Structure 1
């Protein structure tokens, strides 16, 4: 989560008035955060960069519509999530793999395997649960911030967190991370 300082708020004000350098600085300063968020909605480096590029374009064009400078990053992440889902629904995946070649000579550590399993599990649960879980656990947003980003009541966020964790537990098995 990004802490909004007076410096950041000043940059947002400048950006809203048309200062391209201020807008660029806002995004560059939080690029790792933005990238990490896009990572959870993409399947390749190309898709991550495409999502960020498209999100930035949409945000730049709609910057004057931002109502509260305090929520600049919340607003940007909301656009990013919507953009990622739109882009994913437009592209169809065709995957051809030879399972034996994927396993040969690769020594995954247990941690990497768990990360792969967890990411795969997010694709198997409903979108509303995956979104809340990713924003809460990977991006460290509070329940209220998630409520603002997804434009749903905070009670619904809590419910979706609980149900999402239950769904992951069913998919991965109750003792999955106790191995």
Structure 2
């Protein structure tokens, strides 16, 4: 009985390590989007990796391993922000090169400003969907929200951003 459980944990650990290797760049980008510092982002990824491996038996469904890992990563990043002396900085959802193709610098700045006007949950949803290109089901798992809530929230956020940006003539 104990041997079987030990083998399952070893298999899960191997799958977790493989997942981490496969998505290490994405994990780094998510961490960096919160902490805005290369060294802190690397520390966050390392801490999240450690916590995931140590607590792997708490994962109930292997199908949700990636969502579970990203949730741990976000929690570690938020912990780093809380510990900073100058107070926690809100994660800035940046507009990367892939997101601003065909947009001029002023339009990108307007979009960035509009995103900064969102609350923290809305920023996370936008970041995970449009900058990390995660599936809605993965976002629901990471954010610990029902899938329908994620869909409706994203729809409302995008609608709000379109209205705000139309006022400054970004989307016409």
Give TM-score, length-normalised by structure 1: 0.67
Query: 2:13, 2:56 within 8 Å by CA — same for their partners in 1?
Result: no
Equivalent of 2:144, from 136, 142, 151?
151
Query: 1:38, 1:52 within 8 Å by CA — same for their partners in 2?
Result: yes
Query: 2:12, 2:56 within 8 Å by CA — same for their partners in 1?
Result: no
Match of 1:72 in 2: 65
Length, aligned pairs only:
152
Deviation at 1:164, TM superposition (A): 2.5
Match of 1:163 in 2: 156
**Do the aligned partners of residues 23 and 149 (structure 1) sit closer, same or farther apart at CA in structure 2, a change above 3 Å counting?**
closer
Per-residue deviation, residues 3-34 of structure 1 (Å, max 9, x unmatched):
xxxxxxxxxx9783278666444322221121
Per-residue deviation, residues 95-123 of structure 1 (Å, max 9, x unmatched):
xxxxxxxxxxxxxxx76666566455544
Equivalent of 1:135, from 128, 133, 136?
128
Tell me, in whole angstroms, the C-alpha distance in 2 between the residues paired with 1:27 and 1:112.
Answer: 34
Deviation at 1:173, TM superposition (A): 5.5
Q: For structure 1, which runs of at least 5 residues remain unmatched after alignment?
A: 1-12, 95-109
Tell me, in whole angstroms, the C-alpha distance in 2 between the residues paired with 1:173 and 1:51.
Answer: 37
**Do the aligned partners of residues 112 and 46 (structure 1) sit closer, same or farther apart at CA in structure 2, a change above 3 Å counting?**
farther
Equivalent of 2:56, from 54, 63, 69?
63
Tell me, in whole angstroms, the C-alpha distance in 2 between the residues paired with 1:20 and 1:57.
Answer: 11
Q: For structure 2, which runs of at least 5 residues remain unmatched after alignment?
A: 1-5, 88-102
Give TM-score, length-normalised by structure 2: 0.69
**Do the aligned partners of residues 77 and 176 (structure 1) sit closer, same or farther apart at CA in structure 2, a change above 3 Å counting?**
farther
Tell me, in whole angstroms, the C-alpha distance in 1 between the residues paired with 2:12 and 2:144.
Answer: 28
Query: 1:122, 1:168 within 8 Å by CA — same for their partners in 2?
Result: yes
Matches within 5 A, 1:1-179: 16-17=9-10, 23-93=16-86, 118-119=111-112, 121-169=114-162, 174-175=167-168, 177-178=170-171
Deviation at 1:132, TM superposition (A): 0.9
Tell me, in whole angstroms, the C-alpha distance in 2 between the residues paired with 1:44 and 1:30.
Answer: 19
Match of 1:10 in 2: none
